[in-house]
Amino acid sequence: MVRNIDEMQKLGKDNMDATLKSFGALSKSLQAITVEIADFSKKVFEQSTAATEKLIGAKSLEKAIEVQTDYAKSSYETFVAEATKLSELYADLAREAYKPFESQFGKVASVK
């Protein structure tokens, strides 16, 4: 009976340690994602401001269309690159948050 209680206490401690490590990884990953989103927002604002200035300075309709086309193309490319980067960050978040529990799940599977 005492052995089972000790095993349960150790399992509880191991689970708590894994949970704390997971929260640490989660916090770190979310911080990186937040910084990335803030940088992306700043970049998009700067691009749209520059495009607006060029559009205002356009002397002809053709030049205005060219400026708008270039802006749309660069905006799309920037979005795709950022979406790829963010998907990698979210995948890393999931891996890092799960990592502390890998050994715990192995223990549960071996008990059955």
Confidence at residue 109, expressed as pLDDT on a 0 to 100 scale: 53
**How many Å apart are CA 72 and CA 79, to the nearest integer?**
10
* Span 96-107, average pLDDT: 77
Spatial neighbors of 38 by CB under 8 A, at least 6 apart, are none
Q: Phi and psi (nearest 5°) for 96?
A: -70, -35
pTM: 0.73
pLDDT digits (tens, 9 = 90+) for 19-48: 888 888 889 999 999 999 999 999 999 999
The answer to which of 45-49, 68-72, 95-99 has the lowest mean pLDDT is 95-99
Spatial neighbors of 55 by CB under 8 A, at least 6 apart, are 64, 67, 68, 71
User: Residue 41 is which amino acid?
Assistant: S
Confidence at residue 110, expressed as pLDDT on a 0 to 100 scale: 54
